[in-house]
Amino acid sequence: MAHTKVSINRKWYGKVPQDRSGKPIPRNLWPKRRKYSWEVRWYSSEGKRYSKSFRDRKEAEKHANTVQEKVDRGKCDRPRRITLAEFIVEHSQVMVGQKAHTTLKDHLRALRLFAEHVGWQTMLERVSPRHAESFVAKRLASGLATGTVNKDIRTLRGIFNLAIEPRGYLVEGTNPFAKIKERRIAAKPPKYAPSEDLNKVFEACKNIWWKAFLTLAYTSAGRRDELLNLIWSDIDFENQNVGFFPKKASDTMLAWEPKDHESRVVPIPAEAVQLLANLQTESEEGNPYVFVPTGRWKHILKRRSEGTWQPDYEIINNLTRSMETFCRRASVEYFTPHDLRRSCITNWAKRLPIQTVQYLAGHSNIDTTRKYYLSVQNSDMETAREIQSKLMTSFTNF
């Protein structure tokens, strides 16, 4: 069992001085006649001894108090050495099931970009704030949007925190991104898709699959991955609800986890239910997915059986390109499935309490709902003007 007490001892140098008769001087005279330093000694949880020398006792005592706190918390072990490349491989393995697939994919993207910048074989403990600053500068110089670079900073800061705790590769206070400030940007209002624009897109695409997909995105605030991983049993036709639930891998389905591992049930209007019912009549028996066509579904299963399907592959290809085409045909401003999600959340917020909107949106933090998803419309501005105008009518003097 390892010692838990940090000790301070003199460390003597050289031979013991001799007195006039040639005999070694007594031990009680060593402090006055012999060179020494103050050595702080402690043990790891595995019993390995560590030490550090100081010329002054006060400095040694100060360091000993710091080490003692770490020993008491079980954090006195020296960090294990690992390269950035090895850390990335480990991260890709241990975070499966802890983070949603899309989040982990983003983690690995940011890590690989950073490794290309500082070197794949760089020891993790050697990564410094200077590396982080130069990486951010390079990303900004490449012409990327400031918001994208800020996302990289947040992502890498969180990953390096994991390298400290629980993995123990870095000591506390050595996160290279800890003090890297995000660059200031002017906040843009969340994009809102009016129902009129969505109706024009319906006329342009005239496809039951697209109508059902866009309608559900606009009325359930489902994320892209949530919608594409929907199965028919997630649809409650009788009660007009849709559920976003995790999926276990089976002979007919891929494993999938919702963001933040949070399941939720969302009410949808009768019109969306009817479109889904119409789509179900065209679906081939045996295909559990709502929005994965049978041909694509069979292709995915075949690739998986051959071992050539990777978790980061897109379930549906060219979704964004098709959206751009439909918007261009309809002569409306381009919007994405995520813009439809934002619009749905904004519509809810006009009539529902913010905490209800937070649940329906699947946000773990209510500030996310407020900051990124609530769009102020012209009708809201007009209502605000009318409120003040009514108050002004009571004024008799201006």
Query: H-type helices in the chain, by residue range?
Result: 30-33, 57-72, 84-94, 101-118, 129-141, 146-164, 195-205, 208-220, 224-228, 270-282, 294-306, 319-330, 337-349, 354-361, 366-373, 378-392
Chain segment 105-120, per-residue pLDDT in tens: 899 999 999 999 999 9
**Domains of the chain, with CATH numbers?**
7-72 (no CATH), 84-164 (1.10.150), 195-337 (1.10.443)
pTM for this model (two decimals): 0.65
* pLDDT tens series, the chain, 398 aa: 456 788 999 999 989 999 888 899 999 889 888 999 999 998 877 777 888 999 999 999 998 998 888 777 666 666 678 999 999 999 999 998 788 777 888 999 999 999 999 999 999 999 999 999 999 999 999 999 898 999 999 999 999 999 998 888 898 889 999 999 999 886 677 788 998 999 999 888 888 999 999 999 999 999 999 999 999 999 999 999 999 999 999 999 999 888 877 899 999 999 999 999 999 999 999 999 999 999 999 999 999 999 998 877 889 988 989 999 999 999 999 999 999 999 999 888 888 888 888 998 888 888 888 876 766 666 766 766 676 667 556 555 54
CA angle 283, 285, 289 (to 5 degrees): 60
φ, ψ at 141 (rounded to 5°):
-65, -25
